[in-house]
Amino acid sequence: MRAAHGQLTFRKKAAILLTALGPELAAPVLQQLSEEDAETLAIEIARLEKIEPDVRGEVIEEFHHLCQVQDFIQEGGIHYAEQNLFAAFGPEKANEIVERVKRALQVVPFDFLKNTDPAQLLSFIQDEHPQTIALVLAYVKPAHAAAILGKLSPEIRADVAERLVMMDRTPPDVVHRVESVLQRKLSSVINQDLTSAGGPKTLVEILSWVDRATERTILDGLTETNPELAEEVKNMMFVFEDIVSLDDRAVQQILKEVDMKELATALKGTSDEVQQKIFKNMSERATGQLKEDMEFMGPTRLRVIEEAQQRIVAIIRRLEEAGELEIYRGGEDEVVV
């Protein structure tokens, strides 16, 4: 378990911490970050693997220690922090905490690549400029760099090797720019399991508490880097059954855009509450016709029903994006047109 915890990147630890905090507390944190950092962290949450409780506990404990040490550092520097930690935890535990703090304060460039399979990394960077390849190889594990260098074409290999030799100090802004571009590209091609510890559902819950501008920034960035994942998140942000939370004017606006045959299919198998919400916002004649259509179609496959519901949800999202329908965030259910 220690090894597993040690392999976690700082971004993944941040994602674990936010999921542990819950949507209501995590949302304000995202809103305080830059657009780029908020997007990166949101993607990390959506792609989060299942985290064992003891690992989650260690991440929370580490964060608590980091907060303590930061306070000590602000008061009297790192040596003052060490003295207080020694007094509080003893030499062994204090040294462990201090090392974690030092690593947190100085993240190694391209740290997100350290656990990437060399073959996968090769396929990802082999078409980049030789200078970019050399820069990446200068920061990854030597064994990985050797494996990648050996698989490059002879011409590219010689060029990259020469640039490695000639490379001395690269300006931090250049390193950061290359790192940001590669991370954005890599996040769209590396597949990870999405499970209950994080994943799209967690991100959706957090987004329900952020303001509209932050939500749009994160979703736009996610759409650019991983369109399929973005679509999955969007589909989960408003499900068909959420129609019951809309006010009557909003439902009437939606019904103007929906095909009645499609609506009849979507209502099959839904709760009485959902059906009554729809019926009360239609004329008596239209309601009678809709009920007849539902009875006439008989048993319907669940897949067909869900597809019809998704198409209606897509209409609701389109109306919201066009500004014709507004769904309030931040835990409020009220919807106005």
Place of tokens 């209606």: 312
Mind listing the pLDDT tens digit for each residue in 285-328? 999 999 998 888 888 888 888 888 888 888 887 887 787 876 65
Structure tokens belonging to residue 135: 């820069």
Per-residue confidence band for 274, with pLDDT thresholds at 50, 70 and 90 = very high
The lowest-confidence range among 30-39, 82-91, 233-242, 328-337 is 328-337
Phi-psi region of 71 (alpha: psi -120 to 50; beta: other; left: phi over 0): alpha
Residues 6+ apart with CB under 8 A from 256: none
Per-residue confidence band for 236, with pLDDT thresholds at 50, 70 and 90 = confident
pTM over 0.75: no
